[in-house]
Amino acid sequence: MELSDLRIFQAVARSQSFSKAAENLGYVQPNVTLRIKKLENELKIPLFRRTNRGVETLPSALTLLTYADRILSLMDEAEEKLTSQALLSIGATPILSAQLFPKFTQGVHLHFPLVKIELKTDKKSQLYLDLKQNLLDGIFVNERTIPDGCISIFSYTEKLFLVSARSVPDSGDEGIAVVNKNPQCPYRNTLLRYLDNKMNTVDIIEYDTLEPIIRSVESTNAVTVLPQSLVTSKMSKVSLPKEMNSIIIHFVVKQGSAKNKTVRKIIETLSE
């Protein structure tokens, strides 16, 4: 008997309907019916009587429900306790880590003070490799399509702006743009798209990290593209064309990972 069988049984017993239980659990009804039949075969006793209006709970099911409620309650309590003491390894690309990690770690320490966090920055391809090899529990990435074997458990849209120290940002008097040298950087790629018809008149300066990009924009007429969360008081911003004014950031986990429930609970708490 598996815990998942008990959860399905509990849902059927409380709703007295296979279809409602399937809907509440996010399963297809044939799967619920099969699992209940499997449970009845293991216990060698019928649990429900099928009727035209749904199912009728038999005395044997009422007895099992008492124990199922106690077992599942204890497991939920244990999972909550373990969640608060988890060790999580989280990854992001360098440009996203500078934007997301400070707020993420602050939120985890506030809501889950016993959770320990390991943070890693790397290129996107290496992050996915580490995730699939269980070296990371989750990664923040800007992605249009999630690769096979991975799932996004949370995503949000980040607004992007053209920024400069000028009162009205454009390509700059000196025609200077500053970008991250990583070709996978979403802010770099958005700026290059925006400047596509001005490339012959704009000098592109590349940096390895975010910090010199921000300092260059604050102290010169250089322009760049940044999300709202990274725009400082020394910068002016203007909206970009609709087709390039936002990106989607996903928190991605390995499909079927044993830690997914713990990670999901933490991410859902922080995103509220």
Across the range 38-42, mean pLDDT stands at 90
Residue 97 near residue 122 (C-beta atoms within 8 A): no
- pLDDT of 74 reads 84
CA distance 39 to 181: 58
Residue 129: predicted pLDDT: 94
Judge whether residue 195 has pLDDT over 90.
no
pLDDT for 43 beyond 60:
yes
Q: Model confidence over 212-249: pLDDT tens digits?
A: 999 988 888 889 999 988 888 888 888 888 999 999 99
Question: Where are the domains positioned within the chain?
Answer: 3-77, 159-247
- Alpha-carbon distance values, 242 to 176, 194, 237, 239 (Å): 23, 11, 15, 8
Q: Is the pLDDT of residue 168 over 70?
A: no
Q: What is the pLDDT of residue 92?
A: 92
Least confident of 31-35, 102-106, 161-165, 205-209: 102-106
**What CATH architecture is 3-77?**
Orthogonal Bundle (1.10)
pLDDT at 131 over 90: yes
In this prediction, residue 109 has a pLDDT band, given cuts at 50, 70 and 90, of confident
Dihedral sign computed on CA atoms, order 216, 220, 224, 226:
positive
Nearest to 230 by CA among 244, 247, 213: 213
Confidence label for 173 from pLDDT (cuts 50, 70 and 90): very low
CATH C-level class of 159-247: alpha beta
Residue 93 pLDDT > 80, yes or no? yes
**Per-residue model confidence (pLDDT) at position 96:** 84
pLDDT tens digits for 7-19?
Answer: 899 998 888 888 8
Average pLDDT, the chain: 84
Q: How confident is the model at residue 272 (pLDDT cuts 50, 70, 90)?
A: low
Residue 82 has pLDDT above 90, yes or no: no
